[in-house]
Structure 1
Amino acid sequence: MGATRQAESTGWSGAADAGLATGAVARRLGVAPTTLRSWERRYGIGPARREQGRHRRWSPEDVGRVEEMCRLTGLGVPPAEAARLALTEAAATVPRSRPASDPGTLSLGTVRQECRGLARAAVRLDAPAVESQLRTALGAYGLTTGWEEVMAPALHAIGRKWASCGERYVEVEHLLSWHVSSALRRVPDVGARVVPPRRSAPAPAAPVLLTCVPGEQHTLALEALTAVLGERGLPTRMFGAALPAEALYEAVRRIGPSAVVLWAHSRNTADRALVHLVTETEWGVRGARARPAVLVAGPGWATGAGAYAPGVGRLTGLRTAADRIEALFAG
């Protein structure tokens, strides 16, 4: 495919287009601006003209060439060779399909452009671009929408790809997961729109305890919920992956939490006996003992929450989960 057809796939149209700045091209393709400048300096693949002799302006053909280079490097072609092929329009000689063990590109469906950029950057193992895409998404949409419409769909698509391709893409999943986790923990520092605590729901004296059940290693969704609750001014205690049952029992007794959220990604780790244990855990002086509200979350809890223990609630979706926990204290 030549550079002109590549340009059409990015949504460019017509020679009258004034061109894009480097930052806009980086966001469109999921490449860090520093990567684009490095490719221009090292391999001569960049904008053909500058506005007023200073600012880079990318034409449709320029974008088509760098998009082709992104595709080729994603296939494992060394950057210097990928640039040569893109510049000489000889990329048609390189197979456009992946090996038989890899049945195609990521299946993302209808998602935001930022999600596509994030997924492409992760597949290329371009850590600076992944970082840039996460900052852009959180800055534009905030934490809740950024998670639900950018980060989570990209993670799910890469997870499906890994499951269908054996051991391929596991490095992609690990890199993206690490950067997403890092972004969730520093939300106030990435330019995201921080939601002030809601005055109708004063922060409770006791925190919300969040943990994965024993044997459960998937923590990202729970990390996202922890970050959203923090945005809303609700104190939390996050214990992460696979907290043993005995340790959970002791933590509940020592902290005296207002609520306990138990995350299970798999049915194999969703333990009904553990839920019952937490609901029966008490603290405080005799005659004034208290118990936490218990909430289960994650796809592992496949049946109705009431089947696990009386009064247990089930959380679904990040936004509704945060709303429900906040409502416990507003009421």
Structure 2
Amino acid sequence: MSAEPAEAGTSTGAVARRLGVSPTTVRSWERRYGIGPAEREAGHHRRWTPRDVAVLEAMCRLTARGVPPAEAARLAPALAGTADGPPPTAPGPAGAVRPEVRGLARAARRLDSPEVARILHGSVERLGAVTAWTDVMAPALRAAGRRWARSGERYVEVEHLLSWHVSSALRRVAEPPATAPGPPVLLAAMPGEQHTLPLEAVAAALAERGLPFRVFGAAVPAEALAEAVRRTGPAAVLLWSQTRATADPVPVRATATTAWGGRGSRVRPTLLAAGPGWHRTTRPPDALAPRDLPGALALLTGALGAGGAGR
């Protein structure tokens, strides 16, 4: 996280920049919890030694992992210079924000990519893609979006960094199984739709279950999607729309009427219109409408079972 300070010590401002926190935060930790320079000279600005900076780095890691600041200050000296931290915190009561969400928010605001990646990868490994998305990733992304909306163009870099790392964590597990039997499901964003993280979460959940899928990503033209349906004969097609501007029923109907197979045995895929962009007035009547990732996964799993059994 940091380069080695000079032997004479580093100023509070330089340490704060290196750690990605404000000088006020560093001074607050020193005042409240005694996390400060080991040696001070009267009449001089504080100078932080390498050991002092290592303690601050441990403090940052711990608070990013959801440890309360007072407890983090107690643990930081023993963990200084290591990558260790406390064991994963158990989830709180229903509806409570998980510690990982608070940790992600703090690390993302510091633009601390290594810590953001560590929290996200650990969440997927411990919780699985579905819970990691619904309880950690999506709440953190919503919080970052609200912060950006409240502050104009400020903090957009925080949201972009967080989105990139969420995508990276999901794609680590979203490898389509090479030997899965039966037809796949197709995952695509509507024409003009650039939001793809929910599709990547669905893909990661399907991969964890060893189910076949194909992901086509953002802004898939209707003609290309219809061609993919004809070429792969999918059991289901999930079309994602984040905003009403991209919830166009025309390409959905075209997909719904695309069939494959020999004459007399043509088959059409189960169609899912997913995402907050869809409304009952724009969603085709024959399209299923999952409310969340677990619901979409249940529908896709059911379609795969039905499609695989009939071939």
TM-score for the superposition, normalised by structure 2? 0.68
Tell me which residue corresponds to 1:151: 137
**Separation in 1, partners of 2:155, 2:102:** 16
**Separation in 2, partners of 1:139, 1:56:** 18
Partner of 1:268, secondary structure, is: helix
Return closer, same or farther for 1:254/1:297 CA change in 2, 3 Å cut-off.
Answer: same
> Match for 1:320 among 274, 292, 295?
295
What is the identity, as a one-letter code, of the residue corresponding to 1:206? P
What is the identity, as a one-letter code, of the residue corresponding to 2:139? P
Query: What is the CA distance between 1:249 and its match in structure 2?
Result: 1.3
Return closer, same or farther for 1:170/1:49 CA change in 2, 3 Å cut-off.
Answer: closer
Return closer, same or farther for 1:219/1:282 CA change in 2, 3 Å cut-off.
Answer: same
Using the aligned pairs only, state the percent identity: 51
**Separation in 2, partners of 1:47, 1:295:** 49
**Separation in 2, partners of 1:328, 1:148:** 22
**Separation in 1, partners of 2:190, 2:241:** 6
Once the two structures are superposed, what CA deviation does each residue of 1:21-49 show, in whole Å capped at 9, x if it has no partner? 99985653127xxxxxxxxxxxxxx9556
> Match for 2:247 among 263, 266, 270?
270
**Separation in 1, partners of 2:174, 2:242:** 28
What is the identity, as a one-letter code, of the residue corresponding to 1:114? E
Tell me which residue corresponds to 2:212: 235
Query: What is the CA distance between 1:282 and its match in structure 2?
Result: 1.1
**Separation in 2, partners of 1:50, 1:326:** 45
- For residues 1-331 of structure 1, the aligned pairs below 5 Å read 2-3=28-29, 6-7=32-33, 28-30=62-64, 47-48=76-77, 110-187=96-173, 205-303=182-280, 308-331=283-306
**Separation in 2, partners of 1:321, 1:147:** 13
Once the two structures are superposed, what CA deviation does each residue of 1:107-151 show, in whole Å capped at 9, x if it has no partner? xx9411111101111111111111111122223322211111111
Once the two structures are superposed, what CA deviation does each residue of 1:73-118 show, in whole Å capped at 9, x if it has no partner? xxxxxxxxxxxxxxxxxxxxxxxxxxxxxxxxxxxx9411111101
Query: What is the CA distance between 1:166 and its match in structure 2?
Result: 1.7
**Separation in 1, partners of 2:184, 2:243:** 26
Residues 22 and 57 in structure 1, CA contact (< 8 A), matched pair in contact too = no
**Separation in 2, partners of 1:325, 1:4:** 53
- For the aligned residue pairs, the C-alpha RMSD in angstroms reads 3.3
**Separation in 2, partners of 1:149, 1:26:** 22
Residues 185 and 304 in structure 2, CA contact (< 8 A), matched pair in contact too = no
Partner of 2:289, secondary structure, is: strand
Query: What is the CA distance between 1:302 and its match in structure 2?
Result: 2.3
**Separation in 2, partners of 1:147, 1:228:** 10
User: Segments of 4+ in structure 1 off by > 6 A?
Assistant: 21-24, 54-58
Once the two structures are superposed, what CA deviation does each residue of 1:225-257 show, in whole Å capped at 9, x if it has no partner? 111011112100000000011111111111111
Residues 294 and 312 in structure 1, CA contact (< 8 A), matched pair in contact too = yes
How many pairs align? 240
What is the identity, as a one-letter code, of the residue corresponding to 1:145? T
Residues 174 and 200 in structure 2, CA contact (< 8 A), matched pair in contact too = no
Query: What is the CA distance between 1:309 and its match in structure 2?
Result: 2.8
Residues 27 and 114 in structure 1, CA contact (< 8 A), matched pair in contact too = no
Residues 27 and 133 in structure 1, CA contact (< 8 A), matched pair in contact too = no
Residues 204 and 329 in structure 1, CA contact (< 8 A), matched pair in contact too = no
Partner of 1:250, secondary structure, is: helix
Query: What is the CA distance between 1:207 and its match in structure 2?
Result: 0.4
**Separation in 2, partners of 1:161, 1:169:** 7
TM-score for the superposition, normalised by structure 1? 0.64
